[in-house]
Amino acid sequence: MKPTSRMDALRASVTGTAARVLGLLAVLAGSTARASEADLVLPDFRTVQFVGGLDGRALLMAGIAVSILGLVFGFLQYSSLRNLPVHRSMLEISELIYETCKTYLVTQGKFILILEVLIGAVMVVYFGVLRHMEAVKVITILVFSLVGIAGSYGVAWFGIRVNTFANSRTAFASLRGKPYPTYAIPLQAGMSIGMVLISTELLLMLFILLFVPRDFAGPCFIGFAIGESLGASVLRIAGGIFTKIADIGSDLMKIVFKIKEDDARNPGVIADCTGDNAGDSVGPSADGFETYGVTGVALITFILLAVPPEFQVQLLVWIFMMRIVMVLASLGSYGLNGIIQGGKYKNADHMNFEHPLTFLVWLTSIVSVVLTFLVSYLLIPNLAGDTSLWWKMSCIITCGTLAGAIIPEAIKVFTSTESRHVREVVTASREGGASLNVISGLVAGNFSAYWMGIIIAALMGGAYFFSLDIPNTLMIAPAVFAFGLVAFGFLGMGPVTIAVDSYGPVTDNAQSVYELSLIENVPNVKAEVQKDFGFTPDFEKGKEYLEENDGAGNTFKATAKPVLIGTAVVGATTMIFSIIVILVGITVGADGLRSLNAANAANLSLLHAPFLLGLVTGGAIIYWFSGASMQAVSTGAYRAVEFIKANIKLEGVEKASVEDSKRVVEICTQYAQKGMLNIFLGVFFSTLAFAFLEPYFFVGYLISIAIFGLYQAVFMANAGGAWDNAKKLVETELKAKGTELHAATVVGDTVGDPFKDTSSVALNPVIKFTTLFGLLAVELSVELVASGHQTITRVFAVAFFIASMVFVYRSFYGMRIETPMAALTGDNAKPGMKTA
């Protein structure tokens, strides 16, 4: 238990040092106060009448009713899944997976609360000392940051519970000899998660809008967004590290011992199943919750900063009614899709599992677009005296809504089992083995980043074109608002986006549950199933359906990632603009038009050296983060493989011992925690350091991490997806398990694992957390300078940078694969072995 005690000491040291530093900042802070998001006041929604004579507040109250409807639907689906038939052998495995997931989540929850102490201290110093807010207001902000954490954490917990119900039910349903239930159950689980996630987020934001005092709401939204971003960042980073340690440790045994996929004798398989939920369910659920919320907060902040008060109610009600309507669009599309696909495939013996998922995505996108125009016409037919803005702003949102369908289609070109790129990876592996497999995957990833960049630029360009007609009398910088609406549109069909993403971990787990249950070895199992459930199980067809469906799950996990990544980058643009408004200031001309202060805005130029240097520095952070997260996977996987090799028993046993399986889970958890702590604190102190160094440097830095992060994340996600489904293609279509070709694709898949499920996906919440937390950090810096403490501010910048470098160093050199000397002596020593 020595590593745990060292980590406890590290936590205590970090929180203690941070508290002393922030206390000193509080002492140094003067009484100067500047306008910021802390001063934002929501308008009175009763002052504007909309369609049918309803005022804004009444319409938003209807949104609460829709949110409750979404929650009821989600929990009814949850109950339905729980009551589906399942054999006891499979139920036992899924419950064991859930128990290990629970242990993991409880551990991560404690970590999040420790890190909340750091973030909360910054908020207390900023809001309480620098902004001179009364204690009750500061406490309210802190409470909403905890609500944000609870939201991310709660939907993550709900996600693993639903998925671990669905995995065993899917595995059992496959034995009926028809493919349709194998598709329908994972999608039902995904819609349950998607509706609960989006409805919870929407309900909480509407609560702040409607029931929090109007002068509290601005800072409460910021606190809420930072809280959910903190929760999502930790769960995404740690989950991504955990799942790939387990996945690689389990997969490599197939090559080393020539055993089958998910062999029950392999103690790494339970950890792999837990990791599927930690990385592909917990992480995406928390990430989706945070992405939906942060994008909304960015738009609210923009409207309150850049739009004259007389138009704020119309725009705020409009964007929230768009969200409310799109929840209904997702729900209706899911129901219609179920009728169509049920009629087509319910009695079929074969089906392409990707086709109905693709149909659902496009159906939801089209329905959402139609409703966007209809509701916009009803709500804002005459905005700022312009009767054409309703359809122009609808077109802007449509650029994002269509992206939710177009981007997955583009990603499938590089990751689907049917794509030419994936087949090229397989072809290259035939003669070139693992080497050409890896090279082909890298080609697919790079090429996909090109197309993704072009697609996002085109969609944002379309939004910019329509924004040219938005008058300056309505808002400052209409193009920035348009980009925020594109991000908003990305998430418009949020329940369905989350559903097809959550489809993957269920299908992956279902295949594992089947193997681990050893149901085929249960005495008289066919007669038992016939007697208890009314059908004779078809084991061969069941295994075939589960394997093919896992390929579809891999594809749609891959398609959902760039949607969330793109949202983070496009949405960050709007939040960065909020920082710019605070730094630059707003002037009102003689004609009454508001604009940015031209003299200060000149600092946002390559001619201002700190801004250029910030653009350069952001890329460094992205590449450090990518390497550090993979380093944690590499070291953890080494330890997991080391343990599994020493303890796997292939003779005389049917299953690995529960104790050995739990020990692998402990190894994964230990390195996930250690890697996550180093990475998160590196990001935390880097944000403070660069915000304190120079505010315009920091703006350049934020822009840089968004752009570098976009391309790095897309490249890594799609290269990993190509490697993953190349392996799946060899296993399903070529039936070549156990061959040299299979071994080559397994190696490629283990390279792609940390690419697609660790580094790439975690960049999304890191970008948003840095931007949100940076909003407070840069204002803290500006306040200190305004109070006459410019020199000490630079000293703190250096101190925070040194602290960040400590964790950057630890993320690599404190995570190295080192073999203790004691392990290389006596019977354990092997010829030619050296210490690291």
3-class SS string, 738-790: CCHHHHHHHHHHHHHHHHHHHHHHHHHHHHHHHHHHHHHHHHHHHHHHHCCCH
Give the pLDDT of residue 154. Answer: 94
> 594 pairs with which residues across the strands?
588
Q: pLDDT at residue 17 above 60?
A: no
Three-state SS at 177: coil
Give the pLDDT of residue 826. Answer: 42
Q: What kind and span of H or E run contains 598?
A: helix 598-601
Give the whole-angstrom CA distance, residue 601 versus residue 491.
31
Q: At what angle do helices 283-306 and 539-584 cross, to 10 degrees?
A: 30
Q: Which of 464, 318, 469, 330 is nearest to 400 (CA)?
A: 464
Determine the average pLDDT of the residues in 708-716: 94
Per the model's pLDDT, the better-predicted residue between 746 and 19 turns out to be: 746
Contact 165, 82 (CB under 8 A): yes
Q: pLDDT at residue 40 above 80?
A: no
Q: Which of 443, 448, 447, 412 is nearest to 425 (CA)?
A: 443
Q: pLDDT at residue 524 above 80?
A: yes
Q: In the numeric block, which tokens belong to residue 709?
A: 């992060």
Q: Give the range with max mean pLDDT: 203-207, 381-385, 415-419, 662-666.
A: 203-207
Q: In the numeric block, which tokens belong to residue 593?
A: 């038009």
E-assigned strand segments in 216-330: none
Measured from the Cβ of residue 797, the count of other Cβ atoms closer than 10 Å reads: 19
Give the pLDDT of residue 200. Answer: 95
Q: pLDDT at residue 495 above 70?
A: yes
Question: Exposed, middle or buried: residue 255 (CB in 10 Å: 0-12, 13-18, 19+)?
Answer: middle
Q: How confident is the model at residue 23 (pLDDT cuts 50, 70, 90)?
A: very low
Point out the least confidently predicted range of 292-296, 387-391, 520-524, 604-608: 292-296
Backbone phi, psi, residue 359, to 5°: -60, -45
pLDDT digit string, tens, across residues 347-385: 999 999 999 999 999 999 999 999 999 999 999 999 988
Give the pLDDT of residue 53. Answer: 86
Give the pLDDT of residue 765. Answer: 86
The CA-CA-CA angle for residues 652, 654, 656, to 5°, reads: 100
Q: How confident is the model at residue 22 (pLDDT cuts 50, 70, 90)?
A: very low
Q: pLDDT at residue 835 above 70?
A: no
* Type of residue numbered 165: F
Q: pLDDT at residue 49 above 80?
A: yes
Helices within 257-308 (DSSP H only): 268-277, 283-306
* Residue carrying structure tokens 């916009």: 376
Q: In the numeric block, which tokens belong to residue 680?
A: 């998160």
Give the pLDDT of residue 581. Answer: 83
Q: In the numeric block, which tokens belong to residue 90?
A: 């499979």
Give how far the C-alpha of residue 402 lies from the chain's centroid of Cα atoms, to the nearest Å: 20
pLDDT digit string, tens, across residues 442-487: 999 999 999 999 999 999 999 999 999 998 889 888 998 999 898 8
Bridging pattern class, strands 594-596 and 586-588 = antiparallel
Q: pLDDT at residue 685 above 80?
A: yes
Give the pLDDT of residue 86. Answer: 96
Q: Which of 678, 674, 763 is nearest to 714 (CA)?
A: 763
Length of the chain: 836
- Alpha-carbon Rg for the chain in angstroms: 26
Question: Exposed, middle or buried: residue 110 (CB in 10 Å: 0-12, 13-18, 19+)?
Answer: exposed
Give the pLDDT of residue 577. Answer: 85
Give the chain's mean pLDDT. Answer: 87
Determine the average pLDDT of the residues in 411-421: 90
Determine the average pLDDT of the residues in 204-220: 89
Give the pLDDT of residue 88. Answer: 94
* Type of residue numbered 346: K
Per the model's pLDDT, the better-predicted residue between 222 and 331 turns out to be: 331
Q: What is the 3-state secondary structure (H, E, C) of 571-585?
A: HHHHHHHHHHHHHHC
Q: pLDDT at residue 823 above 80?
A: no
Q: What is the share, in percent, of the chain residues with pLDDT greater than 90?
A: 53
Determine the average pLDDT of the residues in 719-725: 92
Q: How confident is the model at residue 8 (pLDDT cuts 50, 70, 90)?
A: low
Q: Which of 198, 259, 279, 287 is nearest to 565 (CA)?
A: 287
Spell out the residues 6+ positions from residue 224 whose beta carbon is closer than 8 angstroms to its own. Answer: 144, 145, 147, 148, 204, 205, 208, 293, 297
* Residue 264, CB-side half-sphere exposure with 13 Å CA sphere: 17
Helices within 417-524 (DSSP H only): 420-467, 478-490, 494-517
Point out the least confidently predicted range of 218-222, 350-354, 426-430, 436-440: 218-222
Q: pLDDT at residue 542 above 90?
A: yes
Give the whole-angstrom CA distance, residue 121 versus residue 255.
50
Give how far the C-alpha of residue 397 lies from the chain's centroid of Cα atoms, to the nearest Å: 22
Q: How confident is the model at residue 600 (pLDDT cuts 50, 70, 90)?
A: confident
Q: pLDDT at residue 39 above 80?
A: no
Give the pLDDT of residue 591. Answer: 67
Give the pLDDT of residue 810. Answer: 94
* Residue carrying structure tokens 């319910």: 346
Q: Give the range with max mean pLDDT: 397-406, 660-669, 789-798, 802-811.
A: 802-811
Q: How confident is the model at residue 587 (pLDDT cuts 50, 70, 90)?
A: confident
pLDDT digit string, tens, across residues 422-431: 999 999 999 9
Give the whole-angstrom CA distance, residue 486 versus residue 551.
30
Backbone phi, psi, residue 153, to 5°: -70, -40
